[in-house]
Structures are given as C-alpha cells and as structure tokens.
Amino acid sequence: MAEAMDSAQQSIDYSQRIPNNVELSTDKALQRALEMWQPAFLDWWKDTGPIDTAKLEVYLRTAVSVDKGGWANFGYVRMPEYRWGIFLTPRDERRNIHFGDHKGEPVWEEVPGEYRSTLRRIIVTQGDTEPASVEQQRLLGMTCPSLYDLRNLFQVNVEEGRHLWAMVYLLHRYFGRDGREEAKALLERRSGDANNPRILTAFNEETGHWLAFYMFAFFTDRDGKFQLSALAESNFDPLARTCKFMLTEEAHHMFVGESGVARVLQRTCEVMRDGKISDPAQVRAQGAIDLETIQRFVNFHYSVTLDLFGAEISSNAANFYTGGLKGRYEETKLSDDHALSNDRYAVEDIENGQIVAKSLPALTVLNARLRDDYTREILAGMARWNQIPESFGIPFRVKLSHPGFHRKIGNFANQHISPDGQVISAAAWEAEAKRWLPSDEDHAFVASLMGRVIEPGKFANWIAPPARGVNGMPVEFEYVRFA
Ligand code: BYC
C-alpha cells in the first residue's frame, strides 16, 4: 500500500493540461486558476523567452516522474510545447521540523498565519529569478557556438520556466488571492526594465554573450542551488519538497557553466601553446579570449552573485531561521543544537579603514554562512578550471576575488576593496577598476567573437568542443533541428 502511494505521488499525470504529481484534478478551483495562468505564461514565453525559436525541434529532457530514472527523459520537443508542470518530491510522513523554534513539531502542510507574508515574500523572490534569467538569455541563441551549446541553453531556459511554475503552484495553492496576484506580477516584471525590474539586482544585468552566460550558470545558478538547498530544509513541507526536485534540475545548469568556462579556457590555452604566445592582444588576434579577460569576468560574476546572499548581518535571515522557514545548507547533516542559541560565527567587516574579522552570534550572520558554503564549492570548481592552464604548462591561475570586492550589499557595500582584499582610495579604485572588471571594450571584443555556429559537430573558434555529448549521444548529434 505504502509503495502504491509512493508511486502515485512520483508519477506525473501527463493526461492533464498541466502535468503534475500533486493530484491537481482533485482541486478544481486551483486547477482552473492555474489553467488561467498557463496562457499568460505562454504569452510571457513568446514575448521574452528565446527569440525566434517556436519552430525549432530541440533535443530536451522532460521530467516524466520524480523518481530516479524518470526525471530525465530525452526527445525532440518544440519549446512552446514543452510540458511545463508541477513536480514535488514525495511527502515523507515522518518528517519533523528539525531546526529553529518549532523543532520537533510536525512539518506544516499549510502556511501558519504568522509566517504567511514572510513565506510569500521568500517564494516570490525565488520565483522572480527564474523568468528573469530566461529574459536575460533571450538573444543568446542567435550567437550560439554550436548546436550542442544551443541545446543546453534551451534546456536551461525551459527548466527555469518550470521553476517559475514550481513557485507559482505554491502561490496559487497556499496563498489565496494574494498569491494569485503575485503569480500574475511574476509575469509582468521584466529583467532590466527601468519601471518594473526584477527584484534582485543580478537579475537585471545583461547576459549579452556566451562567456557571460557560462559565468552566470557557474556562479549565479549556484546561488540558486544554495538558496534552494536552504529552502529545501523549510518547515513548510510543500516548499521543501518543491525545492528538492528543483535541485535535481539545477545540477545541469551548473554543469553547463563549469564546463562552458572550462572549454573556453581549454581553447585559449591551445591557442597560446600553438602560437607560443602569452600577450593578451596576440591571443585576441587569434580569435580566442585571453586569460586576463576571463579573470575579469570571474571577478564580476562572483561579486555580483555574492550580493544575492543579502547582507552578512541580517535580522531577516535570523527570523527565517528561528521561524523554520529557511535552514542552513545541509541543516540535517549538521550536528549542533539547530537553534544556534550560543554559537558564534566569524565574518569580515571594515573598521577604521581596515578589514577585520569579527565573531558574532551565529544566528545573526546566516547569510554570511550560506555565502561561505557557496564559496567553498566555487573554489573547488575553480581548482578544476586551473588544472587546464596547468596541464599546458601555462603559469596563469584563475583567482577568486576577496568577498569585499565590488559589492553593493552588506558590510562592504560601496567600499573600495581590491580583488586581493586591500582597502583602497576611491582614486586608486578608479585607476584600477578597468584591470579588474570587464570594460565596455572587453564586452565588445567578446561579443565580436560570437557568430552563430549551427552545423552539427562544428564549434566556434573561441571554445573547445565538450568531452562528450548529451545523454550518450555523439558530440556531432543534431541537437537542434531547424524546420
Ligand atoms: N538585491 O536582510 P537582508 C536562483 C534587500 S538564485 C536587491 O540582507 P535577506 C537562480 C532585502 O530584500 C536564488 N535587494 O536580506 C539563479 C531586504 O529588503 P527589506 C534566488 C536586496 O532578506 C540563476 C534588505 O535588502 N533565491 O534561484 O536576509 C538562474 C536587507 O536584506 C538584495 C533566493 O534568493 C539584492 N541582492 O536576504 C535562475 C531565495 N539582497 O526587507 C535562478 C529567497 C538583499 O529591508 N530569498 N536585499 O525591504 C531570500 O532568501 C532573501 O530574500 C535573500 C536576501 C537571501 C535574497
């Protein structure tokens, strides 16, 4: 019986207009509300999703069930016909609250009144990033370096669309009229719009070319991973279960980012070796992206993404934790009191023009802690990148800037900190910023390399082919068919 229930929860009902594993058909009012939101979503996709793609057939994975094998089914799909749906990992009846003030109580299946507006705000903030990233990436398909990359971009895009569905389901199902209004507003804000922008700053930046896209997928999608992991600990069980399933999809996005940058590095190192050159201008003359420019993009995307963690010291984050709305990364695996009553945590701040480490009550600096967990993973990825120049005998190593560098939120907001963590004068910053952050010329140069390569198995000159194709297919497979 338990098994039968499990598989009923896991399998996705595709006979419905909205594929789902939440028994949507048993709640007619909810089903109708979501079926009314669906055409608005499709209009949004048409207006701001990948440009000129309605007719393309794309080799995509679609979730057909949430169990191990079922969430990665591959086949050709026209993107407007992608089956965006609502998938939650199955409910664990034994799951109790495991941190914060309500520790030991059963998890919530409905939203307690006292947390309603806070939870709604967290869900809206999360939801807002998903369509934002699709908007940011709208034009990239026009300059893809290969069919393989084009397919990966579209996979990321449809899954971000699905992540929007995930949050919209929660808003419609658990937050009544307010939730429906928020769901509508999620389709109205626009990345970069002066009057109605997306909520978080990084989601209003342009992703104007593929180097920015890979960096975004490596750095910013990984913020997604850490925020979703923290929300997957939530007392509000439907949110936890939604985020768990989203994490399975997020892994691919980070792969696209990490391997994308790695392939750029690979190609640059090949060009440097073959031409016996190291001067950035000579590398550029060969149509590759010099390592110094790659470093500037790393500096930019890392610093902008750190802002997404909020201020180091945050009463919001403390309240999220004590209320049990949002946990720490891998909360269940940590072995402390899960209340942080007496714990302390070290964060950096500026005092008298110096960067100093301070030990503060752990509860007050949870954003900093999540950010540090994130940075550990970033460092591991960068160590893998650095094996590439090393294998070519090139001494250059990509470095991570100090967390205070180029920040707009938190302790270091609007201070002048160099990438190696020195507090400097405004004048010194002005003089050096061009060396540290991508300039308009850098963007223009990278953009100038972007031409559309759509012959199966062919790759643009500035990027190496991947080690293998998608889902066991060869690299030269026709990942996107043009009608
Ligand atoms: N931009 O206490 P504080 C993803 C505001 S990415 C603008 O420090 P808190 C994805 C803040 O709202 C993951 N405003 O912040 C990736 C607050 O305003 P009020 C997205 C900002 O609340 C790639 C004030 O400053 N998910 O999934 O602790 C592709 C003081 O804030 C920003 C989430 O973010 C900013 N960067 O933390 C696709 C999870 N930062 O209250 C998808 C949900 C702060 O003074 N969100 N502010 O008016 C959260 O958990 C929290 O809202 C944040 C901020 C961690 C973002």
At residue 196, does pLDDT exceed 80?
Answer: yes
| 130 ligand 1 Cβ < 6 A | yes
pLDDT in tens, 342-357: 999 999 999 999 999 9
At residue 2, does pLDDT exceed 50?
Answer: no
Q: Distance between terminal CA atoms of the chain?
A: 48
At residue 7, does pLDDT exceed 50?
Answer: no
pLDDT in tens, 417-461: 999 999 999 999 999 999 999 999 999 999 999 999 999 999 999
Nearest CA to ligand 1 atom 45: 316
At residue 386, does pLDDT exceed 80?
Answer: yes
Phi, psi torsion values for 463, nearest 5 degrees: -140, 140
Confidence of residue 15 (pLDDT cuts 50, 70, 90): low
DSSP 340: -
What does the pLDDT read at residue 11? Answer: 64
> Percentage of the chain with pLDDT > 90?
91
| 411 ligand 1 Cβ < 6 A | no
- Residues 249-265 have a mean pLDDT of 96
What does the pLDDT read at residue 13? Answer: 67
Nearest CA to ligand 1 atom 40: 310
| Local structure of 372: helix, strand or coil | helix
Q: Report the candidate in 339, 351, 399, 349 with the shortest Cα–Cα distance to residue 375.
A: 399
Q: Is the dihedral of CA 13, 14, 15, 19 positive or negative?
A: positive
Confidence of residue 17 (pLDDT cuts 50, 70, 90): confident
At residue 8, does pLDDT exceed 70?
Answer: no
Say how far residue 157 (Cα) sits from the centre of its chain.
Answer: 11
Phi, psi torsion values for 252, nearest 5 degrees: -65, -35
Average model confidence (pLDDT) across the chain: 95
At residue 206, does pLDDT exceed 90?
Answer: no
What does the pLDDT read at residue 6? Answer: 43
CA–centroid distance, residue 139 to ligand 1 (Å): 26
At residue 195, does pLDDT exceed 60?
Answer: yes
**Residues with Cβ within 8 Å of residue 457, at least 6 apart in sequence:** 474, 475, 476
Q: Report the candidate in 179, 186, 190, 238 with the shortest Cα–Cα distance to residue 33.
A: 179
Nearest CA to ligand 1 atom 20: 126
**pTM (2 decimals)?**
0.95
CA–centroid distance, residue 122 to ligand 1 (Å): 8
Ligand 1 pocket test, pick from 409, 411, 414 with the greatest ligand atom count within 8 Å of Cβ, gives 409
At residue 305, does pLDDT exceed 80?
Answer: yes
Is there a contact between 336 and 287 (Cβ–Cβ < 8 Å)? Answer: no
Q: Report the candidate in 305, 255, 279, 295 with the shortest Cα–Cα distance to residue 435.
A: 295
Nearest CA to ligand 1 atom 11: 310
Angle at 76 between CA 190 and CA 207, to 5 degrees: 30
At residue 209, does pLDDT exceed 70?
Answer: yes
Q: How many residues does the chain have?
A: 483
Q: Looking at ligand 1, which atom is closest to the CA of residue 315?
A: 2
- Residues 328-335 have a mean pLDDT of 95
- Residues 318-334 have a mean pLDDT of 97
What does the pLDDT read at residue 370? Answer: 98
CA–centroid distance, residue 317 to ligand 1 (Å): 10
| 126 ligand 1 Cβ < 6 A | yes
| 227 ligand 1 Cβ < 6 A | yes
**Residue in the block written with tokens 């009846």:** 93
| Strand locations in 327-425 (E) | 344-351, 354-361
What does the pLDDT read at residue 238? Answer: 98
